[in-house]
Amino acid sequence: MIETDLIWHNGEFVAWEDAKVHVLTHGLHYGTGVFEGIRCYETARGPAIFRHLDHLDRLERSAKLYYMELPYTVEQLRVATHELILRNGLNSCYIRPIAYRGYGHMGLNPLEAPVEVSIAVWPWGNYLGDEGTRDGIRAKVSSWERISSRSLIPQAKASGQYLNSVLAKIESVKAGYDEAILLDERGLVAECSGENLFTVRDGVIATPSQSAGILDGINRRSVIQIARDLGYTVLERDVTRSELYLADEVFLTGTAAELVPVREIDDHGVGAGEPGEVTRVLQRAFLDALNGRSERYLEWLDLVVAPAVGGQAVPERASA
C-alpha cells in the first residue's frame, strides 16, 4: 500500500487518512473527473518535475472539454504541488492531481455539482517492472477497441474514459501478457492501456497520429523531439497491426512507464526478441532528460522550490 503524510485537498494540506470523499460524489458514479500523471525526479539540482506546466495545462484542457471550470489556476496548482512534495519530504515521486464533480447533485447533468481538486504524491517504482524496462515486455493486441471521438474525447484524460483501458488491461493480464495494445475504430494501431506506442523499422521510427484517437502523450512528444534531435526520422502516421509483427523494434512511452521496450507481441518476437539498438539509445537519452542529466532538455524540468516568503503557500479557491 502506498502512503505519504499529506494530501492537498481543495486548498488544504490534510493527513493521508483524512483525504476522503462522500459515497455520493458525482465523479464516483459517472466518472466525471479529469486527472494527470506526472513524475518528479531527484536531480543534481534537487527534486524536479518533468514538464509540469504541460501536464497542468492538459489537466485544465481536459476539464474544459467536460465543461468543468477548475477553481484553481495552473500556477496555484503548480505551487501547491511543490509545497506538497517538500512537506512530504520526497525527492522523487509520482504526482496525481485530480479534479472531479463532487458531492451535492446526482443525475447526469453535472453542471450543478461542485468541482473539487486534490493532489496526491507518492513514491512509485517502475510501472511495468524493472525487468520490463530492461528486457522488454510482452503485449497482446486487445479485443477491445480504443474509445473514439464518436463517443468520447480520446485527447482528454478523463476518469470515466479509463474503463476502456481497464477492460483491455484485465484481458491482457488474464491472458498472461504484461500490456494491451488497442486498435482504433478503423482497426489501426492506437496505443496501450496507459502508454503511447512507437515502432522502428529499417531505422525509421513511426507512431500513430492524433487521428488514431490516442492520448496526446507528453512523453510521446518528448521522445519524438529527442529522436529527431538525434537525427532519426520520426513519422506520425497510420500504423497497421501487421506492422507490429514486422517491426524491428517496438517501444512504449508514458509518465508512469517512462520508456519500455516491447519484446513480444501476440507471441511473435519483436525483431530479435530483445530490446533493439534504437530503443536503447532513446531510452538512455530519455532517462537522462528525465533525471536532469541532459543540459539540452533542462528547460523541461520544473525545480521544486519552497514558496517565496509572503508568497501564496496555500492557494485560495478562485470561487468559494
* CA distance linking residue 132 with residue 129, whole number of Å: 5
Identity at 314, one-letter amino acid code: V
Within positions 16 to 45, which residues make up the interface with ligand PPE, using CB under 6 A? 37
For the CB of residue 205, give the shortest distance to ligand PPE in the complex, in Å: 16
Q: How far is the CB of 131 from ligand PPE (least distance, A)?
A: 18
- Cα dihedral sign, 194-200-206-212: negative
In whole angstroms, the minimum distance from the beta carbon of 269 to ligand PPE comes to: 25
- Stretch of residues binding ligand PPE (CB under 6 A), selected from 65-73, 205-213, 214-222, 295-303: 214-222
Q: In the bound complex, what is the minimum distance in angstroms from residue 31's beta carbon to ligand PPE?
A: 14
Of 98, 97, 74, nearest to 85 (Cα)?
97
Taking the CA of residue 72 as centre, how many other CA atoms within 13 Å lie in the half-sphere pointing to its CB?
A: 30
Q: Does 218 bind ligand PPE (CB under 6 A)?
A: yes
Q: Which of 20, 64, 140, 157 is catalytic?
A: 157
Pick the stretch among 16-24, 131-139, 188-196, 296-304 that binds ligand PPE (CB under 6 A): 188-196
Taken as a whole, the chain contains a residue count of 320
- 64 a catalytic residue: no
Binding status of residue 207 toward ligand PPE by CB under 6 A:
no
Query: Which 238-267 positions form the footprint of ligand PPE (CB under 6 A)?
Result: 253-257
Residues 220-239 that bind ligand PPE (CB under 6 A): 220
Is 196 near ligand PPE (CB under 6 A)? yes
- Residue span binding ligand PPE (CB under 6 A) among the ranges 129-137, 218-226, 286-294, 308-316: 218-226
Residues tagged active-site? 157
Judged by the rule CB under 6 A, the positions of this chain that interact with ligand PPE are 37, 165, 191, 194-196, 215, 217-220, 253-257
